[in-house]
Amino acid sequence: MAKNSDPASAPRKSEAADARARIIDALLALAVEQPFEDITISAIAAKAGVTLADFRDAFPSKGAVLAGFSRRIDRIVLEKPSDDLAGEEAKDRLFDVLMRRLDAMAPYKEGLRGVARWLRREPLAAIAVNQVVVNSMRFMLEAAGVDSEGAVGALKLQGLALAWARVLDVWFEDDEPDQAKTMAALDRELTRGGRIVARAESLDRLAAPLKALGRAVFETRRRARDAVRERGRRRDDDDERAHRL
């Protein structure tokens, strides 16, 4: 028998989601006004109109707020179907998805510019944020119908994350309505990345027989070790039985 849901749970979830949204908006608004490292959690909470307890329930740190913003943008991009891109080349599909991402980020451009400046000053923070970007790029590739699994997939993800950072540097300085400089930079990065991935995929195909051979050798050795151990156990059992006699 199904359990009755708590009628109060939906409002609580809605309130928590609203608090998270206001905290994200507050952080990015403050990033326009002052250096990111000077923004305190208390200041974010005050601007968002939430208590420190509410902030703690929503996010453990400022970095986590940035990750929450990234997930917000992911959702906006992923909610739009990509069926109309099915007949396009992979590069064109990914170009469209990433331009959609920039459109979703546009209202927060000045705050994100402040975050980018902070990341240039804080390499350890940049490493942590890189993982957030890699996770987002995984879903951008999926939305574009591009495989991101395996060793080559890992190369695509990290390469795209680095390319995205270079595109953002152009985007921050591109104030033209048609975003021609940004689109040119994105096209250039995707073309360059496509060549690198193509070479990696060729090497992966060439290495496939060697990988299969290596797995076969490893499995053969493992079975041989297991057989030796089994014979050793049997000898020990035989010796123990003989000793008892």
At 68-101, the pLDDT tens digits run 999 999 999 999 877 676 678 889 999 999 999 9
pLDDT digits (tens, 9 = 90+) for 148-157: 888 888 889 9
The whole-number pLDDT of residue 34 equals: 96
Report residue 208's pLDDT band, with 50, 70 and 90 as the boundaries. Answer: very low
Share of the chain above pLDDT 70, in %: 76
Question: Reduced to 3 DSSP states, what percent helix, strand and coil does the chain have, rounded to the nearest 5?
Answer: 85, 0, 15
The whole-number pLDDT of residue 224 equals: 58
pTM for the full predicted model: 0.76
Task: Give the position of tokens 């590739």.
Answer: 141
Q: How far is CA 109 from the centre of its chain?
A: 20
The whole-number pLDDT of residue 148 equals: 87
Dist. CA 241–CA 70, nearest whole Å? 67
Among 130-134, 199-203, 229-233, 239-243, top mean pLDDT goes to 130-134
Residue 231 burial class via C-beta count within 10 angstroms: exposed 0-12, middle 13-18, buried 19 and up = exposed
Of 45, 15, 9, nearest in space to 29 by CA: 45
Domain ranges, ordered by start, for the chain: 14-60, 62-233
Give 240 or 132, the one with higher predicted confidence. Answer: 132
CATH number of 14-60: 1.10.10
pLDDT digits (tens, 9 = 90+) for 180-206: 999 999 999 999 988 888 776 655 454
Question: What's 177's DSSP letter?
Answer: T
pLDDT digits (tens, 9 = 90+) for 18-66: 999 999 999 999 999 999 999 999 999 999 999 999 999 999 999 999 9
